[in-house]
Amino acid sequence: MSCRVADRGHSINDGRVAHRRGGTVADTVKKGARITGADRTKLAGELTKKYSQGASIRALAEETGRSYGFVHRILTENDVPLRSRGGATRGKAKR
């Protein structure tokens, strides 16, 4: 059995250690840690970009390991226009 070790900047994949390229703030900040200053600004930029490209708040929350409320708050703090809720909508009545 092989020894499995994960260092910062690495991830475990089937017992092999693979180096991450182009890491994001979310990759380097521990789950639940307070994010302030430059890290918060950088994370806000990343979330804004992904949200504007169509990612949902729930998907961003899962990707970053943060709550829905945290991601929502970051987006609203940065004046990002939020999309309306999805799901089935009623169309115009057909004649």
C-alpha–C-alpha distance, residues 23 and 77, integer Å:
24
Q: What is the pLDDT of residue 38?
A: 93
Contact by Cβ (8 Å): 20, 11:
yes
Examine the pLDDT at 58 and tell me if it is beyond 70: yes
Contact by Cβ (8 Å): 3, 16:
no
- pLDDT-based confidence at residue 54 (cuts at 50, 70, 90): very high
Contact by Cβ (8 Å): 21, 13:
no
pTM across the whole model: 0.63
Residue located via tokens 């890290």? 39
Residue located via tokens 């708050």? 73
More confident residue, 50 or 14: 50
- pLDDT-based confidence at residue 92 (cuts at 50, 70, 90): confident
